[in-house]
Amino acid sequence: MKRIGWPMGLALLALAACKAQPDAAPGNDTSRHATSKPAERISSKDQALARQLAGDWVTSEVRPTGSAEDNCATDAGISLGDDGSYGSLDEAGRWTVKGGVLLVTVTSRLDDSNEESNEAKEMPINPPRVDKWPIEKIEGDIAVMRFEDGQFWMFRCPPLPKA
């Protein structure tokens, strides 16, 4: 799993909030990436999971320990906005929950390879990439995703200040 950034996510989150994209539904394969399809009606169970997941998280391949201050002092953060927006240090898009699976549709990424400028350029991803994160459980500030190759952890962080 790619490490994604936390502190620089504010600018990206603002960008993601401005880019409304339709939600994606899962494809037929079981990989973490699939081709997006039009959204379907969200069940009440999936709506409840989505309410629990909305917020700012640090992602990890090991179980988080310690305080929120310790865990959130990293660049491995993502934001799952109440409005369905998704953001990380270098990606933006939309998210939803379908069939107990967190679906993250990545519609753009930031390219900061231009050394002559300090500004990163937004690059659309076409077709968008859909990442599937099967939800095993959510308990308080910890969410666990279950993949074929093991578990993936998310630790809820305090909300970022509004820009």
Question: Residue 111 and residue 19: Cα distance in Å, rounded?
Answer: 17
Residue 99 lies in a domain: yes
Domain with 105, as residue range(s), is 9-21+31-112+120-157
Residue 1 lies in a domain: no
- Residue 104: HSE in the Cβ half-sphere, 13 Å Cα cutoff: 22
Average pLDDT over residues 29-45: 59
Q: What is the pLDDT of residue 78?
A: 93
Q: What is the pLDDT of residue 64?
A: 79
Q: Which residues pair with 106 in a beta bridge?
A: 93, 129
Residue 79 lies in a domain: yes
Question: Residue 90 and residue 70: Cα distance in Å, rounded?
Answer: 22
Q: Which residue has the higher pLDDT, 120 or 82?
A: 82
The model's pLDDT over 92-107, given as tens digits with 9 standing for 90+, comes to 999 999 999 999 999 9
Average pLDDT over residues 29-42: 51
Average pLDDT over residues 21-29: 37
- Give 159's DSSP letter: P
Residue 163 lies in a domain: no
Whether 8 shows a pLDDT value over 70: the answer reads no
Residue 137 lies in a domain: yes
For Cα atoms 152, 110, 10, give the angle at the middle one, nearest 5 degrees. Answer: 70
Q: What is the pLDDT of residue 115?
A: 66
The pTM score is: 0.69
Q: Which residue has the higher pLDDT, 34 or 146?
A: 146
Total domain count for the chain? 1
The model's pLDDT over 49-78, given as tens digits with 9 standing for 90+, comes to 999 999 999 988 888 777 777 778 877 789
Find all residues with CB under 8 Å of 53, minimum gap 6, and list them. 80, 95, 97, 102, 135, 138, 143
Q: What is the pLDDT of residue 67?
A: 75
Residue 3 lies in a domain: no
CATH of the domain at 139: 2.40.128.280
- Per the CB < 8 A criterion, the answer to whether 68 and 141 are in contact is yes
Q: What is the pLDDT of residue 117?
A: 67
Residue 84 lies in a domain: yes
- Which three-class secondary structure string do you get for 104-133? EEEEEEEECCCCCCCCCEEEEEEEEEEEEE
Question: Residue 71 and residue 104: Cα distance in Å, rounded?
Answer: 22
Confidence of residue 131 (pLDDT cuts 50, 70, 90): very high
- Per the CB < 8 A criterion, the answer to whether 86 and 95 are in contact is yes
Question: Residue 88 and residue 79: Cα distance in Å, rounded?
Answer: 6
Percent of the chain clearing pLDDT 90 (strictly above): 45
